[in-house]
Amino acid sequence: MSIAIKSIQTWIVEIPLDDEWASSPEFGVHGHGAKSSQRLLLRIVDEDGFEGWGENHVCLSEEDRAEVFKRLPGIVENELRLDLLPLWKESENYWLRPNPPSPYAPPHENLMHRIGHPMQKLIESTLSDLIARRAGIRLCELWGGAWRESVSVDYWMGRVTPEHAHRCVTRAKSLGFRGVKLKTTLEDPNVERLEAIREAGGDDFHVTVDPNGRFYRLDDALPTIRAMDAVGNMAILEDPFPRFHLEEFAALRSRVRARVAVHIDPPESLWAVLTSGAAGGLNISYGSRGPGTWRRHAGVAAAANLAVWFGSGLDLGVETASQLHLAASTPNCTLPGDQAGPWLRKNDIIQVPFQVEEGKVLLPAGPGSGVEVNRSILDDQCICYWESLPARD
């Protein structure tokens, strides 16, 4: 298969999180300054007028991005292998050496986690959307078919005071969410915050607690973790310790009711996590890898009888829709994700908002990702625009 590209357009938009629903000022900001507020939108149009949209954080310089897009039409016209696009220039990547190929080197596909390009995920997602729209099917059908028509998704909070948590959960429930992902550290008012969440959300409102390793060591944290577990609404405890202490994850699992989960990062750590017995569930996010690699990792987890969720970057609607379709097409992606970006940012760029019912986000129904970009809002929020029209013989 090949694609004849007619035009490539990119927009950089800056849409920050709404401070009221992000983090309490007592704890500082949660990485939602100017840089993390910026998102890169990509639109690729083929010669027949079909378009595909993708979204990512801003990566590479403008010059380097332009260089990739300059070569992209030739790449997709000659060899369209979506999950490992040859985006590096010849001899540009260390992991593509030695050159000429050595008889001792592993095949390049075995090094995908090392030779993946920073633009791989964005371009792969955009081309997947274009291909699905051409075929008149949804992204989830391109990726194997839908196992579900709605995806479990939780609201999201940064480090907040108990009072702030109460306000956030009240809003989350009014929007239709039935759980929340919460950032924290060992020093925070962890028990009081979970009690405030239970008061606002009720006994059936669950919490995924994510210290990002800042519960330090099992001996230090166990009294606090047991007190949090006793509140009764902590359903998942993700990455309580630094991930080089997998033995402490494994030791914790039998001591708490909450599911202990591990965020797979870097991707080559998956095997170590599975064989260590550290995880009762996995958070698998993109990094710079695309949908194909994500599905393979989720498949490995399924073989180990582990449920997963899709870790988001509090994205805008284009990327959120892509993640929802990927989660819907993956049998064991049943744990609640945190695709709450469209409800937390000050604006979004899609025409029709997502629908939340009983803690699940309904899949958009149209072809491809099913969402359409509001060009007026996109242009209004744009801080940088670039367009390329490939030359034709």
- Of 336, 331, 324, nearest in space to 364 by CA: 324
- Residue tagged 């940012």 (tokens): 345
172 plus 104 within the same structural domain: no
CA atoms of 229 and 120, how far apart (whole Å): 40
CA atoms of 180 and 169, how far apart (whole Å): 8
Q: What is the CATH number of the domain that holds 314?
A: 3.20.20.120
Position 36 in a domain = yes
Task: Quote the domain boundaries for residue 276.
Answer: 150-362
What integer pLDDT is reported at residue 157 of this predicted model?
94
126 plus 163 within the same structural domain: no
Handedness of CA 47, 52, 53, 58 (dihedral sign): negative
Position 369 in a domain = no
Mention every residue, 6+ apart, whose C-beta is less than 8 A from residue 265.
Answer: 243, 285, 287
- Across the strands, what pairs with 156? 181
What integer pLDDT is reported at residue 34 of this predicted model?
43
CA atoms of 358 and 176, how far apart (whole Å): 6
132 plus 213 within the same structural domain: no
CA atoms of 66 and 93, how far apart (whole Å): 18
DSSP E strands, the chain = 5-14, 38-46, 51-57, 150-152, 155-157, 179-183, 206-210, 234-238, 259-263, 281-285, 308-311, 356-357, 360-362, 382-388
What integer pLDDT is reported at residue 180 of this predicted model?
98
Is pLDDT at 10 greater than 70 in this prediction?
Answer: yes
123 plus 156 within the same structural domain: no
DSSP E strands, 65-170 = 150-152, 155-157
Helix (H) or strand (E) segment spanning residue 326:
helix 317-328
What integer pLDDT is reported at residue 391 of this predicted model?
59
197 plus 248 within the same structural domain: yes
Position 241 in a domain = yes
CA atoms of 377 and 203, how far apart (whole Å): 39
Position 368 in a domain = no
Q: What tokens does 129 get?
A: 């959307």
Mean pLDDT value of segment 343-371: 96
110 plus 206 within the same structural domain: no
Question: How far does Cα 89 stand from its chain's mean position?
Answer: 27
Over residues 147-206, the pLDDT tens digits come to: 999 999 999 999 999 999 999 999 999 999 999 999 999 999 999 999 999 999 999 999
163 plus 283 within the same structural domain: yes
Mean pLDDT value of segment 361-384: 96
191 plus 240 within the same structural domain: yes
Position 48 in a domain = yes
134 plus 155 within the same structural domain: no
Confidence of residue 104 (pLDDT cuts 50, 70, 90): confident
Q: What is the CATH number of the domain that holds 97?
A: 3.30.390
Is pLDDT at 274 greater than 80 in this prediction?
Answer: yes
Q: Are strands 150-152 and 234-238 parallel, antiparallel or unpaired?
A: unpaired
CA atoms of 194 and 204, how far apart (whole Å): 13
CA atoms of 325 and 281, how far apart (whole Å): 20
Q: Are 319 and 122 in contact (CB under 8 A)?
A: no
335 plus 211 within the same structural domain: yes
- For the chain, what percent of residues have pLDDT higher than 90? 77
Position 173 in a domain = yes
Mean pLDDT value of segment 43-48: 96
Over residues 307-327, the pLDDT tens digits come to: 999 999 999 999 999 999 999
| pTM over the 0.85 mark | yes
- Count how many domains the chain has: 2
Of 8-17, 106-115, 240-249, the poorest mean pLDDT is in 106-115
Mean pLDDT value of segment 345-365: 96
CA atoms of 144 and 54, how far apart (whole Å): 20
Position 132 in a domain = yes
- Residue tagged 């196992």 (tokens): 147
Position 145 in a domain = no
125 plus 246 within the same structural domain: no
204 plus 337 within the same structural domain: yes
Mean pLDDT value of segment 52-80: 90
CA atoms of 168 and 197, how far apart (whole Å): 9
Is pLDDT at 390 greater than 80 in this prediction?
Answer: no
Mean pLDDT value of segment 203-224: 97
Alpha-carbon distances, residue 239 vs 125, 263, 358 (angstroms): 28, 7, 27
